[in-house]
Structure 1
Amino acid sequence: MSIDQLAEIAQAMVAPGKGIIAIDESTATIKKRFDGVGIECTEENRRAYREMLLTTPKLGDYISGAILYDETLRQSTKAGVPFTKVMMDNGILPGIKVDLGAKPLAGFPGELVTEGLDGLRDRLKEYAKLGAKFAKWRAVITIGEDAPSGTCIEANCHALARYAALCQEAGIVPMVEPEVLMDGEHDIDTCYEITEVTLRSLFGALYEHNIMLEGTILKASMVVSGKDCPEQASVEEVAEMTLRCLKSAVPATLPGIVFLSGGQSDDDATAHLDAMNRMGAKPWPLSFSYGRAMQSAALKLWSKDLTGNIAAAQQTVYARAKANGLAALGKWTKGA
């Protein structure tokens, strides 16, 4: 696939007023979500839940793509229609999570490095045949005492760059996700410092691996106070510092940036995105790639009656998509 084709897909992922829904939870992660609402984590229940999400009427009005798990990419609706066809027919690009999770970084207690490069070239070839247009790889950066180390940041950014190169070789747009976790007592200034260092390391590694930025999307965490910090930054401060950090470290040639919700409440994630998009011209579109912030309310409704509450659950999914789509334009009003 040419760079022009990759760039076209990347631009479609951040089309005005649209964002990405992340439904790529591993079996272990979705089991925790299902356990929380009293649903048995069977393959059929997982399939039915994701069918409810992906068949939400008019979802494509505000959703440009969906990140899927390996199992989901291969599944179909109850009527036998592949999920990838349902998505493409509704203008939603299929994406795929390809990393194998964050594991302990040897020699650096408490720090993590994401694994999954072994065999990735062959997996990407298969995913492309199955219809995947973009992929996602998540790195995890933890803030703590003497952490993160330079080694942790460098190892994760090197892996992100190698993954991105393999994606572009396979004709798939890489979404690179270096998540700086909210966990901890750190203040927003510390989060800013670590996020900036991480992003500079990431784009240095992407450059060294000859990544075509025009066909790449950044999935970024926002610059926020740690969850246990006694002083929580305001919406305006989060928006201002996140934008300043991105402008200092992210090249303007990137087609767009989507944010992860990262443990924020539904409204906080939307409010922060909206505030950033009200702050004047930016080098790139700013949109969303939310998981829990898109799904949590719908999961609770759906879990009460796996068949009877589908319409109500889908209305909630659509409402969350619309709210975040408006926030991506800087036009969201809380409660509207």
Structure 2
Amino acid sequence: MTEELSKIAEALVTPGKGILAADESSGTIKKRFDSIGVASTDDTRRDYREMLFRAGEGMKNYVSGVILYDETIRQKAKDGTTLVDVMKAAGSIPGIKVDTGAKPLAGSNATIETVTEGLDGLRERLAEYHKLGARFAKWRAVITITDDLPSWNCVKANAHALARYAALCQEAGIVPIVEPEVLMDGPHAGHTIERCYEVTEWTQRTVFRELYDARVALEGIVLKPNMVIAGQKCPKQASPQQVAELTVKCLKATTPASVPGIAFLSGGQSDEQATENLSLINQIGNLPWNVTFSYGRALQAAALKAWGGKTENVAAGQRAFTHRARMNSLAALGKWNQQLEKAA
């Protein structure tokens, strides 16, 4: 089982390929559709995601896997083909978001701190998702920085839940993406890059201790962390080079070399910022893991705007998606630059 999981994990972080996060909840995708004046219905959500999954070169050359939402893994394309089969035809591994969201953490500052729920019934859901074609899964834990937060209670609770989820995934023959996200869009102006480093290192160390205790095979996971970056409300923003250096320093301090790969979340960075920082991280070199992307909005925003909900704009949406996927592919190889960005 571990060998099979390891093969899937390694395929997800194939050099030059990354993961498309298309697992927006119904509420999140409605907000994105609202921004372009499109009603969020079963059909419009299907049409939008089908547009991405059929983006030819963009999918085949640059996307290793796609994280789906429960609705999407069950949907069929307009021609009756399941969306899972559409993705497989493009060479992508189907994945599934399995957590049920971040909820207020009892006994803590429940207006700010959360714990991710979804462990109840997860074993049975994973068995069903495996039958539907999913070979990897995602669970996101959320950590917020303030002067006196995160609390140990919050870090520990989320790390423990991630480990229990990961163990259940591996039992089901599914690779767990382990996503502890220290939010960059939190409310705190004191969220400097140095404070982010401190909290991110603490969180990741705790997660790996919990994974070890839960007997999770690290060869069969993918880590999806935040980059070490100043918060959006912080008046002092760090340079891209600082982001790259401190992110690599943090990973080397926390993440065993047996983990096949790191697939960063974009976490509120602009499209280009997420690409540039990823490229600089890879340019540092001599990393024991393959380092790539698992972006949602940072891969989709331009495509969503170009599509605008209109059938006649599908090709334009696919071109916009393919461009961003290619830029991030270059970044995953440490080969992105501004000239290539503007040349498209």
Place the TM-score, normalised by the shorter chain, in its bin: over 0.9
Q: Is 1:25–2:29 an aligned residue pair? A: no
* Deviations 1:60-113, CA, capped at 9 Å, x for gaps: 201000000000001111001111111112210000000000000012122000
Q: Write the letter of the residue equivalent to 1:227.
A: Q
Equivalent pairs: percent with the same residue? 59
1:335 to partner: Cα distance: 3.9
Counterpart code for 1:28: G
1:332 and 2:336 aligned:
yes
Measure, in 1, the Cα distance between the counterparts of 2:326 and 2:150.
Answer: 36
Instruction: List per-residue Cα deviations over 1:146-167 (Å, max 9, x = no partner).
Output: 1000010000000000000000
Tell me the residue number matched to 2:209. 204
1:277 matched to 2:282? The reply is yes
Structure 2 unmatched runs, 5+: none
> Contact between 2:56 and 2:90, CA under 8 Å: does it hold in 1?
no
| Deviation at residue 301 of structure 1 after TM alignment | 1.2
Distance 2:93 2:196 in 1: 32
How many residues end up aligned between the 2 structures?
A: 334
Map 1:97-246 to 2 at 5 A.
97-109=97-109, 110-182=112-184, 183=186, 184-185=188-189, 186-246=191-251
Which of 317, 323, 326 is equivalent to 2:327? 323
Q: Deviations over 1:175-221 (max 9, x none)?
A: 00000000232100000000000000000000000000000000010
Cα shift at 1:265: 0.3
**Structure 2 counterpart of 1:50:** 49
> Residue by residue, what CA displacement relative to the aligned partner does 1:12-40 show, whole Å, maximum 9, x if unpaired?
00001000010100001111111111110
Q: Quick one: distance in 2 between partners of 1:57 and 1:334? A: 24
User: Using the alignment, how far apart are the partners of 2:125 and 2:292 within structure 1?
Assistant: 28
Partner secondary structure for residue 308 of structure 1: helix
- The alignment status of 1:87 with 2:87, answered yes or no, reads yes
Structure 1 spans left out of the alignment, 5+ residues: none
Correspondence 1:311 to 2:315: yes
Q: Which moved more, 1:182-191 or 1:6-15?
A: 182-191
Q: 1:145 Cα shift?
A: 2.6
List, as ranges, runs of 4+ consecutive aligned residues in structure 1 with deviation greater than 2 Å.
none
Partner Cα distance (1:335, 1:38) in 2: 33
Of 288, 294, 301, the residue aligned with 1:289 is 294
Give, in whole Å, the separation in 2 of the partners of 1:130 and 1:120: 15
Q: Which amino acid aligns with 2:72?
A: T
CA distance in 2, matches of 1:253, 1:159: 21
